[in-house]
């Protein structure tokens, strides 16, 4: 008995100490409860000049059968093909709390088709922000990745307060990103997911490749069934996982070095995290975002891969994408093209 007790003591000593967690947010989507979620309303393209308009419309975000669907549609279904191409002014400024534009970056609240020779964003989708934030804890989202060319689903987190400055100085936690393309380069399509931390003194200095990891299924795709995408995060580090806590994707240790030292900037820039602990900027409250984007030109979709119908360096990339609608739209088959969410849970570390 003494030997058995010693073994249990040893195992407890070696096991990671994560502490208690208190459930602070839960949604099983028996209904679409907008007291828990805020829609992002903008055509800004998420900083990547993506090709969607985010809105609050039940064609793009809705609940049935205890599942949240974030489904892409064509803007032409709303305003006509001719209006997408020229002569229409999109005004998202709104006048109510649920209809107010949330980001005017890159003319996200008002823009006109034909301006600068570009079409209006030719697709519509949704992005939802949790009305609860956590600082350290656990997040689990049970989701089914959409199937469809150039669809970009994401489950991620941003800081509630930009304590250390504008993006990425205050950090970003990408729990899961994927691509909807089925016949894409191996390890980059719907059979794969990735997790990433973004951080750095300003937008052109984001060494995210140091905190990036990918995971591919040995067979099948992440569209075939629902999977749990999780995050555990405390003062000593964070990790993401698929389906269970032991199946880790990204694992980042905060104790070995500060993020300033990880970035190796020396004295080239000012340290936005000076005087803070090694966890900074990931020592603040973050909220959860679930969204489905389309396309983009900043490198997530590399040129020359998968017969991409636009070039990232083309000033009229959105036109090239929309003009080739016959090559990608047939792959969007109803709700199979939707990011489907079965449940969301967030625990605060106590």
Q: How far apart are CA 221 and CA 178, in angstroms?
A: 11
CB 21 within 8 A of CB 348: yes
- What is the span of the domain harbouring residue 47? 20-349
Residues 212-228: pLDDT tens digits? 999 999 999 999 999 99
pLDDT, residue 94, reads: 85
CB 21 within 8 A of CB 347: yes
Residues 27-68: pLDDT tens digits? 999 999 999 999 999 999 999 999 999 999 999 999 999 999
CATH of the domain at 282: 2.60.120.200
Q: Given a cut of 80, is residue 191 above it in pLDDT?
A: yes
35 within a domain of the structure (yes/no) = yes
And the tokens for 268?
């080239």
Q: Residues 303-313: what's their mean pLDDT?
A: 96
Q: How far apart are CA 325 and CA 88, in angstroms?
A: 20
Q: Residues 118-144: what's their mean pLDDT?
A: 98
What is residue 44's three-state secondary structure? coil
CB 19 within 8 A of CB 235: no
And the tokens for 306?
């998968």
312 within a domain of the structure (yes/no) = yes
Q: Given a cut of 90, is residue 18 above it in pLDDT?
A: no
Q: What's the maximum distance between 2 C-alpha atoms anywhere in the chain?
A: 82
Q: How far is CA 277 from the centre of its chain?
A: 26
Q: How far apart are CA 324 and CA 309, in angstroms?
A: 6
Residues 75-90: pLDDT tens digits? 999 999 999 999 999 9
Cβ neighbours, 10 Å, residue 136: 23
13 within a domain of the structure (yes/no) = no
C-alpha dist (Å) from residue 280 to 5, 93, 313: 39, 34, 34
Mean of pLDDT over the chain: 94
Percent helix, strand, coil in the chain, to 5, is 15, 35, 50
pLDDT, residue 98, reads: 63
pLDDT, residue 266, reads: 80
Strands 248-253 and 237-242: antiparallel
pLDDT, residue 161, reads: 97
Q: How far apart are CA 108 and CA 45, in angstroms?
A: 8
Lowest mean pLDDT among 13-17, 201-205, 300-304: 13-17
CB < 8 Å & 24+ apart, contacts of 307-313: 308/150
Residues 259-296: pLDDT tens digits? 999 999 988 899 999 999 999 999 999 999 999 999 99
279 within a domain of the structure (yes/no) = yes
Angle at CA of residue 287, ends 98 and 70, nearest 5°: 55
- Token pair 């569209």 in the structure block, residue: 223
pLDDT, residue 72, reads: 98
Q: Residues 6-23: what's their mean pLDDT?
A: 55
Give bridge partners of residue 216 from the DSSP assignment.
Answer: 192
Give bridge partners of residue 138 from the DSSP assignment.
Answer: 232, 347
pLDDT, residue 97, reads: 63
Q: Given a cut of 60, is residue 3 above it in pLDDT?
A: no
Number of domains in the chain: 1
Q: Residues 92-108: what's their mean pLDDT?
A: 86
Q: Residues 161-172: what's their mean pLDDT?
A: 98
151 within a domain of the structure (yes/no) = yes
280 within a domain of the structure (yes/no) = yes
Q: Residues 249-256: what's their mean pLDDT?
A: 98
31 within a domain of the structure (yes/no) = yes
CB 90 within 8 A of CB 112: yes
Q: How far apart are CA 115 and CA 178, in angstroms?
A: 31
pLDDT band at 13 (very low <50, low <70, confident <90, very high): very low
- Token pair 């032409």 in the structure block, residue: 76
Q: Residues 169-185: what's their mean pLDDT?
A: 97
74 within a domain of the structure (yes/no) = yes
Q: Residues 314-321: what's their mean pLDDT?
A: 98
């Amino acid at each position: 008995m003494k030997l058995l007790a010693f073994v249990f003591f040893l195992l407890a000593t070696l096991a990671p100490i994560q502490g208690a967690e208190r459930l602070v947010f839960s949604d099983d989507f028996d209904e679409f409860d907008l007291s828990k979620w805020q829609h992002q309303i903008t055509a800004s393209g998420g900083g990547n000049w993506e090709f969607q308009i985010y809105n609050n419309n039940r064609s793009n975000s809705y609940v049935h059968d205890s599942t949240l669907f974030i489904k892409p549609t064509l803007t032409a279904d709303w305003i006509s093909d001719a209006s997408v191409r020229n002569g229409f002014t999109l005004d998202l400024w709104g006048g109510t709390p649920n209809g107010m534009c949330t980001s005017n970056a890159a003319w996200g609240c008002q823009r006109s088709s034909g301006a600068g020779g570009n079409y209006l964003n030719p697709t519509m989708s949704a992005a939802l922000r949790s009305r609860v934030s956590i600082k350290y804890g656990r997040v689990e989202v049970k989701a089914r990745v959409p199937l469809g060319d150039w669809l970009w689903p994401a489950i991620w987190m941003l800081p509630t307060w930009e304590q250390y400055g504008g993006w990425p100085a205050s950090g970003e936690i990408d729990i899961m990103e994927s691509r909807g393309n089925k016949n894409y380069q191996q390890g980059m399509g719907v059979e794969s997911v990735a997790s990433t931390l973004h951080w750095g003194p300003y937008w052109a200095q984001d060494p995210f490749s140091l905190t990036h990891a990918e995971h591919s299924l040995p067979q099948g795709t992440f569209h075939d069934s629902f999977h749990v995408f999780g995050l555990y995060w405390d003062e000593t580090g964070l990790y993401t996982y698929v389906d269970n806590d032991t199946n880790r994707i990204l694992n980042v240790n905060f104790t070995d070095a500060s993020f300033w030292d990880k970035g190796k900037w020396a004295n080239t820039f000012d340290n936005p995290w000076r005087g803070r602990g090694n966890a900074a900027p990931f020592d603040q409250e973050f909220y959860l975002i679930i969204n489905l984007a389309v396309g983009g030109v900043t490198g997530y979709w590399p040129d020359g891969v998968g017969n991409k119908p636009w070039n990232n360096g083309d000033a009229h990339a959105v036109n090239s994408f929309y003009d080739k609608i016959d090559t990608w739209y047939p792959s969007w088959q109803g709700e199979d093209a939707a990011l489907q969410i079965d449940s969301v849970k967030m625990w605060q570390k106590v």
